[in-house]
Amino acid sequence: MTALQQALSTGKFAVTAEVAPPKGVDTTEMMQNAKYLQGKVHAINITDQQSSVMRLGSLASCRLLKEAGFEPVFQLTTRDRNRIALQSDLLSAFTLGIENVLCLTGDHVILGDHPQAKPVFDLDSVSLLMAAKKLQEGLDLAGEKLEGAPTFHLGAVVTPGYEPMELQILKMERKVRGGAQFFQTQAVYDPEEFRTFMEGARELHVPVMLGVVLLKSAGMARFMNKNIAGVNVPAWIIKAMQETDDKVATSIKITARIIRETREMCQGVHLMTMGWERHVPAILQEAGINI
């Protein structure tokens, strides 16, 4: 059982944060960012070509963190691989000692730095979960028997602010049937909106970790409101970020406040740090979270 799985299964408030692989082979900054999180989180998500921007692979990065004593969460998107490659990467992850897997569809290639690339999307996030579940049963998607079966702690993503909310709950239910054992949400900034969502999601009896993107500016908040479906940054937050003389301190206080106000509604928090990993300890201290 992974540390993240143990925290979620025993009722502890689980904490994860995100680290991005480099665009290249110099992993110095990635490893330094991970060190900021040491002893502060149960596991570290490694993004998989986030926003369709080509970077060092998530699987290799997970292995580097594993060797350094961290517990990784392998983010795996279906955008760039067919079902053969996806199943192979899942088997590879397990043989490398990586069991936490977050199954994602991924952003379309037109949003990234190689818009001419051919997207694959042979599977989606639900069918990827089903593939991973089948591998655990000792079979691949062709029905062929495996020589040794892996075990995973499978996660998925949900967007609490997406309308209509009922469709998100239905998709969440499909992911649970597919094999999802926990959820990390897309960015949430409105505790009351999250409360409404959790009232609908509670019947699924699967741990949900609140996701928060650390805001760096009012402009970033406005961009998210305009361009990211299901994300709603309230006006008071935008105003606070616009008027502050210390954006870092204000961002820390805002994030900590959201965690405090939602802590009793969920089973953990996932911090999407956008390069601000060094501020995670201060956020958790301000929020009163200690793993």
State residue 134's pLDDT score: 98
Res 13: pLDDT: 98
Is the alpha carbon torsion for 121, 209, 212, 151 positive or negative?
Answer: negative
Number of domains in the chain: 1
pLDDT at position 56: 98
Range of the domain at 29: 3-287
Instruction: Give residue 146's pLDDT.
Output: 98
Looking up residue 244, the CATH number of its domain turns out to be 3.20.20.220
Q: If DSSP codes are grouped into helix, strand and coil, which group holds residue 184?
A: strand
Tokens of 26: 């110099």
Please tell me the pTM assigned to this model: 0.95
Reference 187, options 167, 166, 205, 161; nearest CA is: 161
Which parts of the chain sit beneath pLDDT 50? none
Task: Let me know: does 254 contact 237? Beta carbons within 8 Å.
Answer: yes
